[in-house]
Amino acid sequence: MAEPLRLGIAGLGTVGSGVVRIVQRHARMLESRAGRPVTISAVSARNRDKDRGLRLNGYAWEDDPVALALRDDVDVLVELVGGADGPAKAATEAAIAAGKDVVTANKAMLALHGQALALAAEARGCAIRFEAAVAGGIPVIRALGESLAANEIQRVMGVMNGTCNYILTRMQSAGLAYEEVFREASDLGYLEADPTLDVGGIDASHKLAILAAIAFGTQVDFDAVDLEGIERITIDDIRAAADMGFRIKLLGVAQMTGRGLEQRMSPCLVPASSPLGQLENAMNMVVLEGDAVGQIVLRGAGAGEGPTASAVMGDVMDLARGRRGPVFGQPAATLARAQPASSTVPAPYYLRMALLDKPGALARIATVLGEAGISIDRMRQYSHDDPAAPVLIVTHKTRRSALKDAIAAMPATGVLASDPVAIRIEEV
Amino acid sequence: MAEPLRLGIAGLGTVGSGVVRIVQRHARMLESRAGRPVTISAVSARNRDKDRGLRLNGYAWEDDPVALALRDDVDVLVELVGGADGPAKAATEAAIAAGKDVVTANKAMLALHGQALALAAEARGCAIRFEAAVAGGIPVIRALGESLAANEIQRVMGVMNGTCNYILTRMQSAGLAYEEVFREASDLGYLEADPTLDVGGIDASHKLAILAAIAFGTQVDFDAVDLEGIERITIDDIRAAADMGFRIKLLGVAQMTGRGLEQRMSPCLVPASSPLGQLENAMNMVVLEGDAVGQIVLRGAGAGEGPTASAVMGDVMDLARGRRGPVFGQPAATLARAQPASSTVPAPYYLRMALLDKPGALARIATVLGEAGISIDRMRQYSHDDPAAPVLIVTHKTRRSALKDAIAAMPATGVLASDPVAIRIEEV
């Protein structure tokens, strides 16, 4: 019989428990598909006594994930501890130093230390696999790095934080304010301990930075992501966007431009009828665009025990089958350092403003836009009881810098009742 | 420098030309991603003199694809000739006999001879890769066989013939009869030389049979697909389905049941708001359901030069990177022969009928359904000028055998103005 592939699982939270359950439930199936048994030698977690509803008595226990990684009976470290630094990174580095492969779901660690870890792993001939780090069960890392390996990637985008998508779609469907839905999501346990990781777009940006590295052959560069969360999205914007045929999504976009690599994570308007516009609740969606394949859309659960454990085990199965390769699709030493470019790709914008009820108010705003070189595609002024008139404008494509200039010039018109809201419309 | 991977390309139609173009355009990118050059040694096609708008003068020419496969300077046969038998199969067998890997887009050959070819290839240690055979640029083979390798697959379904989806969505959007849109599709060159391959569902069934083999670890069995094309779908059905909130799709479904493997390719109703229901024009969509991952939806172009060539080259890149493995995900010798099961999974059905304007007509139909154990979920009778009243019924879940019995008993009621139409409603 072929040698088993022996796992050491660090972290027995939701995902780690899911991995243990799959290995136990499907031992025979995994063996017949991989051509060898996949077994667990040892596990590690913070609290040994916690009842996880798992049979763990067949496995050795290590309090320290580094000791787990170094065990002689562990071939692959499955790192599910989380956190960019600390024990997760220490265990990963220890595994690599010992010449072992690593499977991880840790987007923060890869987004911040991916290049260094990849260099270390490749120097030792080790693999680091991380399908579970981006969009849970959706096989986007494999699709991008393997299936589309013969494409020049043009754009990668996606809704990659289920909690934000839940909040935005719930605001829309229930007509509730951001604060109310935030509280609901918190009560449901949907939010990270530090909720800015979710609603501030940080978690999703980690994922975007990882995808960009694979897509464009560049060193992962989280700090270069132009980042804006969903905290300032109001129910008024959700309603106004819907009225113009759009949905608001926390959308990550990475594309290579003439000026460098643009990575943006921000609320965007997308057509309500597009696949992204129709994405409801906590689902994730990733859109890949390549010069040969055109557009590929992948949709699935972006989190949760089953989907994330499925992705971890997909990577484990690859290693069991002897499929290995560079961490980011090509050797880390050959990855270019990308020039970060901030939003140079022109786009239409949505502008919501409240104008004072003065004669010529709209004309003055239109003049300011015109002077900044921005032309208007659509405009709606709504009837109102307030002294201020709600006005929506959809512009033709413009650069964000031009829009910033126009917005900066608007207060001088004396017709604004409040600060205008501008949201990019992404063509999807 | 690492040894190049040298291709022999058999077939220079749309897809073959696309492959040549990618290799020429992206030589440097392919080399940096694969860690070795990917080159073309020789090509083969029926007509040497045809102008394909390609530079071919750097490549050797072979009239016979078998001779191409046997050349010393060819490492991988890229079989893009098509057809289940004939030169495609001869060249594939020759390559395998010579110990060479094969990349193919040939769904007919794999659906009919996949098991025998896989056994031969694995006996010789060769790989056969065929991502391009199913759903063009959508990476479904890889997702199913690799990403979801730790899942027990529950159901695989999809819209996998773009021409049929074009016809059905065009009927809906333009309100045209089947015959009219069929003629349009023919004029646009969307149809195969033998159009029953498309509209009869044969092409899509080839793809379904391939997916089922990977999903369920069974020998590919095209003959067991329960097959019905779209030829009998009328604009009345399209309209009536839409009125009830559905779309009609040529949907392939494979699932393992207690009685065996069910493979169906038939027109089905799906909710208009579901991802499948929203799939327009010639796009393809595949839905994969696994016990851990839940539901994954993949969408993209199912045909055309770029998308199909992208899939072929994804497989080539895998081989260049040294990633190989069993043809259907586990050794062909271990694939079970599945017991074919015909439509044992209960489903709701849509029934459209025209009833004579007699008192109690509807009651008699309802009685027949009730006697067959079928209960009614929704019913609509439309006002009418004809002597016959259009009636739509959506049943609760029932077995197809019960529905068949009920339909067989209906003529005896004496109230049918024409044969009833029954279409399965697939829960998606």
Q: What is the pLDDT of residue A238?
A: 96
User: Are the beta carbons of B300 and A294 separated by less than 8 Å?
Assistant: yes
Chain B residues within an 8 Å CB radius of A314: 146-150
Q: Which two tokens stand for residue B250?
A: 């040529």
Distances (CA, A) of B2 to A314, B34, B38: 29, 10, 10
Does residue B272 belong to the interface with chain A, where contact is any CB pair within 8 Å?
A: no
Alpha helix (H) ranges present in B71-106? 86-97
Tally of CA atoms within 13 A in the half-sphere of A171 that contains its CB:
28
- What is the tens place of the pLDDT at every residue in B319-373? 999 999 999 999 999 999 999 998 778 999 999 999 998 889 999 999 999 999 9
Q: Which two tokens stand for residue B70?
A: 């046997």
Chain A residues within an 8 Å CB radius of B317: 146, 149-150
Regions of chain A where pLDDT drops below 70 = 1
Nearest-angstrom CA–CA distance, A267 and A248: 6
- What is the tens place of the pLDDT at every residue in B187-242? 988 888 899 999 999 999 999 999 999 999 999 999 999 999 999 999 999 999 99
Which chain B residue is nearest to residue A34, measuring alpha carbons?
B330
CA angle (A71 as vertex; A13, A312 as ends), nearest 5: 40
Residue B271 near residue B246, CB atoms below 8 Å: yes
Mutation to test the B interface, candidates A33, A134, A169, A305, most B Cβ within 10 Å: A33
Q: Which two tokens stand for residue B1?
A: 């420098």
Q: Which two tokens stand for residue B161?
A: 């013939």
Per DSSP, B303 falls in state S
Q: What is the mean pLDDT of chain B?
A: 95
Does residue A17 belong to the interface with chain B, where contact is any CB pair within 8 Å?
A: no
* Mean pLDDT, range B248-264, rounded to an integer: 96
Residue A334 near residue B32, CB atoms below 8 Å: yes
The residue to which tokens 């045809």 are assigned: B50
C-alpha torsion A208→A211→A212→A218, nearest 10: 130
Q: What is the pLDDT of residue B1?
A: 61
* Mean pLDDT, range B258-282, rounded to an integer: 95
Please give the CATH architecture assigned to the domain spanning B144-302: 2-Layer Sandwich (3.30)
Mutation to test the B interface, candidates A15, A146, A216, A280, most B Cβ within 10 Å: A146
Interface of A with B in 322-351 (CB under 8 A): 323, 325-326, 329-331, 334
Q: Which two tokens stand for residue B132?
A: 């391009």
The residue to which tokens 């102008």 are assigned: B51
Does residue A217 belong to the interface with chain B, where contact is any CB pair within 8 Å?
A: yes
Distance (Å) from the C-alpha of residue A405 to the closest C-alpha of chain B? Answer: 39
Nearest-angstrom CA–CA distance, A172 and A235: 7
CATH superfamily ID and name for A5-104: NAD(P)-binding Rossmann-like Domain (3.40.50.720)
Burial call A102-118: b when 16+ CB within 10 Å, e when fewer: bbbbbbbbbbbbbbebb
Per DSSP, B4 falls in state P
User: Are the beta carbons of B217 and A32 separated by less than 8 Å?
Assistant: yes
Nearest-angstrom CA–CA distance, B227 and A254: 43
For residue B206, is it left (φ>0), alpha (ψ between -120 and 50) or beta? alpha
Per DSSP, B232 falls in state T
The 3 state secondary structure assigned to chain A is CCCCEEEEEECCCHHHHHHHHHHHHCHHHHHHHHCCCEEEEEEECCCCCCCCCCCCCCCEEECCHHHHHHCCCCCEEEECCCCCCHHHHHHHHHHHHCCCEEEECCHHHHHHHHHHHHHHHHHCCCCEECHHHCCCCCCHHHHHHHHCCCCCEEEEEEECCHHHHHHHHHHHHHCCCHHHHHHHHHHCCCCCCCCHHHHCCHHHHHHHHHHHHHHHCECCCHHHCEECCCCCCCHHHHHHHHHCCEEEEEEEEEEEECCEEEEEEEEEEEECCCCCCCCCCCEEEEEEEECCCEEEEEEEECCCHHHHHHHHHHHHHHHHCCCCCCCCCCCHHHCECCCECCCCCCECEEEEEEEECCCCHHHHHHHHHHHCCCCEEEEEECCCCCCEEEEEEEECCECHHHHHHHHHHCHHHCCECCCCEEEEECCC
Chain B residues within an 8 Å CB radius of A316: 150
Looking at residue B276, its amino acid is: L
Q: What is the pLDDT of residue B215?
A: 98
CA angle (A58 as vertex; A52, A62 as ends), nearest 5: 70
* Mean pLDDT, range B417-421, rounded to an integer: 93
Looking at residue A260, its amino acid is: G
Helix (H, G, I), strand (E, B) or coil at B210: helix
Residue B366 near residue B359, CB atoms below 8 Å: no
Residue A68 near residue A44, CB atoms below 8 Å: yes
CA angle (B155 as vertex; B149, B161 as ends), nearest 5: 100
Distance (Å) from the C-alpha of residue A103 to the closest C-alpha of chain B? Answer: 13
- What is the tens place of the pLDDT at every residue in B41-85? 999 999 999 999 999 999 999 999 999 999 999 999 999 999 999
- What is the tens place of the pLDDT at every residue in B96-132? 999 999 999 999 999 999 999 999 999 999 999 999 9
Q: What is the pLDDT of residue A1?
A: 61
Q: What is the pLDDT of residue B71?
A: 98
The residue to which tokens 């013939």 are assigned: B161
User: Are the beta carbons of B313 and A149 separated by less than 8 Å?
Assistant: yes
Distances (CA, A) of A34 to A73, A234, A308, B276, B420: 19, 50, 20, 32, 49
Q: How many residues would you count in chain A? A: 428
Nearest-angstrom CA–CA distance, B353 and B421: 6
Chain A residues within an 8 Å CB radius of B139: 139, 142-143, 146-148, 296
Q: What is the pLDDT of residue B357?
A: 87
Name the band, by pLDDT with cuts 50, 70 and 90, for residue B428.
confident
Nearest-angstrom CA–CA distance, B168 and B162: 10
Residue B32 CB coordination number (10 Å): 17
Does residue A256 belong to the interface with chain B, where contact is any CB pair within 8 Å?
A: no
User: Are the beta carbons of B310 and A152 separated by less than 8 Å?
Assistant: no
Q: What is the pLDDT of residue A385?
A: 83
Interface of A with B in 146-165 (CB under 8 A): 146-152
Strands of B60-62's sheet in order across: B60-62, B38-44, B5-10, B76-79, B101-104, B128-129
| CATH (one of 3.30.70.260, 3.40.50.300, 3.40.1410.10, 3.40.120.10) for A349-425 | 3.30.70.260
DSSP string for B14-36: HHHHHHHHHHHHTHHHHHHHHSS
Q: Where in chain B is the domain with CATH 3.30.70.260?
A: 349-425
Residue A408 CB coordination number (10 Å): 11
Q: Is the ipTM of this complex over 0.90?
A: yes
Q: Does the pTM exceed 0.90?
A: yes
Looking at residue B392, its amino acid is: L
Residue A269 near residue A425, CB atoms below 8 Å: yes
Chain A residues within an 8 Å CB radius of B281: none
Q: What is the pLDDT of residue A393?
A: 96
Residue A19 near residue A9, CB atoms below 8 Å: yes
Q: Which of A355, A350, A352, A366 is nearest to A398 (CA)?
A: A350
CATH superfamily ID and name for A143-301: Dihydrodipicolinate Reductase; domain 2 (3.30.360.10)
CA angle (A136 as vertex; A323, B297 as ends), nearest 5: 90
Residue B217 near residue B115, CB atoms below 8 Å: no
Nearest-angstrom CA–CA distance, B144 and B161: 19
- What is the tens place of the pLDDT at every residue in A340-395? 997 778 999 999 999 998 889 999 999 999 999 999 999 998 888 888 999 999 99
DSSP string for B153-209: EEEEEEE--HHHHHHHHHHHHHT--HHHHHHHHHHTT-S-SSTHHHHTSHHHHHHHH
Nearest-angstrom CA–CA distance, B169 and B124: 46
Q: What is the pLDDT of residue B192?
A: 84
- What is the tens place of the pLDDT at every residue in B82-94? 999 999 999 999 9
Distance (Å) from the C-alpha of residue A198 to the closest C-alpha of chain B? Answer: 22
Q: Which of B322, B308, B321 is nearest to B21 (CA)?
A: B308
